[in-house]
């Protein structure tokens, strides 16, 4: 799907955890003079309706406003975002094709898929944009109101519940896998091609449990269409301060923390001026009051970083999620 639409807390350095060396040096400000002269394509490796799609459209609107450049957001779902990424690494690193990166295809996929068609070193991190908690919710018909009650229900009814996510290998999927590992429980996974379809399935009662980004689930919970149980960060969300964290539910979950993140990447090998210009626009977008208000609306926080900072952060995420995948023994093929 193609739509025409006429960039913060510094990221933690992860020395010693970096599994791959991203090319990430930021060039001299004197060379930040690149300016697009043709349409910029922003690939959102997910269906419309989730945070990946939203951030792609915010970036597109900003670049059009800042540069007067035509922008196009292209939604390419499937394979947990890996199908879009496999094609993306073959594109020219000229600044005209950008990827809205997220943990699924850019951290989890490297350890989960046997036949993955790309490697981390084929990508150039530009900057992260936002971080957001994940959220665990249930259809109102499920007789639980907390994570502890969910744990107790699964122990008493091991075959009655399944859970939906935005796709195999996405951050919500690994959130669920880690939760089940730590509690020793089982629950079948029902993957969808994006957050929107997964949410629709749970709202419709086809799947009882949902692991999702905070947005778009939280508005549905506020309207009573879902029952929110917990957020997955160690701290409660400022958007839902009454909603407990997973870590509060049980001793075995005391260190449980997962956040989704959404940033910008290029194919490997851009000109230094292209990399710097795009990084500068990521920062400019996140500095805008209207962008900050929209990000706050979805319960996220701005998360700008230099290419080096973003690369180090992504490498640390690859290591973290790789450990979860190895404990799960989850290996599969992209299909």
Q: What are phi and psi of 42, to 5 degrees?
A: -115, 115
Specify the CATH superfamily of domain 2-131+261-328. Answer: Bordetella uptake gene, domain 1 (3.40.190.150)
Q: How big is the chain, counted in residues?
A: 335
Paired sense of beta strands 209-213 and 189-191, if any: unpaired
134-191, pLDDT tens digit by residue?
999 999 999 999 999 999 999 999 989 999 999 888 889 999 999 999 999 999 999 9
Q: Give dist(CA 311, CA 333) in Å, integer.
A: 26
Do the beta carbons of residue 310 and residue 127 sit within 8 Å? yes
Cα angle 111-115-118, degrees, rounded to a multiple of 5: 75
d(CA 35, CA 267): 18
What distance in Å separates the CA atoms of residue 311 and residue 306, rounded to the nearest whole number?
Answer: 8
Say whether domain 133-253 belongs to CATH 3.40.50.720.
Answer: no
Non-local (6+) Cβ contacts of 274 within 8 A are 34, 93, 94, 95, 266
pLDDT of residue 16: 32
C-beta atoms surrounding 159 within 10 Å:
9
DSSP string, 90-106: TS-SSSSEEEEE-HIII
Evaluate whether 2-131+261-328 and 133-253 have a shared fold.
Answer: yes
3-class state of residue 160 by DSSP:
coil
Domain ranges of the chain: 2-131+261-328, 133-253
What pLDDT is recorded for position 21? Answer: 53
Q: What is the pTM of this model?
A: 0.80
Residue 298 is predicted with a pLDDT of 85
Residues of the chain with pLDDT under 50: 1-20, 24-31
DSSP string, 98-131: EEEE-HIIIIIHHHHBTT-S--GGGEEEEEEEEE
- pLDDT confidence of residue 55: 96
| Residue indicated by tokens 């690193």 | 93
Whether 106 and 123 have beta carbons less than 8 Å apart is answered as: yes
**Backbone phi and psi for residue 255, each to the nearest 5 degrees, phi listed first:** -105, 15
Give me the pLDDT at residue 185, please: 96
pLDDT of 168 reads 84
């Amino acid at each position: 799907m193609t739509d025409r639409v006429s960039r913060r807390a510094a990221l933690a350095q992860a020395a010693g955890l970096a599994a791959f060396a991203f090319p990430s040096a930021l060039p001299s400000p004197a060379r930040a003079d690149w300016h697009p002269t043709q349409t910029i394509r922003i690939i959102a490796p997910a269906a419309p309706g989730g945070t990946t799609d939203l951030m792609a459209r915010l970036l597109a609107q900003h670049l059009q406003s800042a540069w007067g450049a035509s922008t196009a957001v292209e939604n390419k779902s499937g394979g947990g975002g890996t199908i879009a990424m496999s094609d993306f690494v073959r594109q020219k690193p000229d600044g005209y094709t950008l990827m809205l990166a997220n943990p699924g295809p850019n951290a989890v996929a490297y350890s989960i898929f046997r036949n993955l068609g790309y490697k981390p070193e084929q990508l150039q991190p530009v900057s992260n944009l936002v971080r957001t908690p994940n959220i665990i919710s249930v259809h109102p018909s499920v007789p639980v109101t907390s994570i502890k009650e969910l744990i107790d229900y699964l122990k008493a009814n091991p075959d009655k519940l399944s859970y939906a996510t935005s796709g195999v290998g996405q951050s919500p999927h690994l959130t669920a896998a880690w939760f089940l590992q730590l509690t020793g429980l089982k629950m079948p996974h029902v993957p969808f091609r994006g957050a929107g379809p997964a949410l629709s399935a749970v709202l419709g009662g086809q799947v009882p449990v949902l692991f999702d980004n905070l947005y778009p689930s939280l508005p549905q919970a506020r309207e009573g269409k879902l029952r929110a149980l917990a957020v997955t960060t160690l701290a409660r969300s400022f958007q839902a301060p009454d909603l407990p964290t997973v870590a509060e539910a049980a001793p075995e979950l005391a260190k449980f923390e997962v956040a989704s993140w959404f940033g910008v990447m290029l194919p490997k090998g851009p000109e230094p001026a292209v990399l710097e210009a795009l990084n500068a626009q990521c920062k400019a977008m996140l500095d805008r009051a209207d962008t900050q208000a929209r990000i706050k609306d979805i319960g996220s926080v701005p998360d700008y970083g230099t290419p080096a900072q973003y690369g180090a952060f992504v490498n640390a995420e690859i290591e973290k999620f790789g450990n979860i995948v190895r404990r799960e023994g989850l290996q599969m093929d992209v299909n």
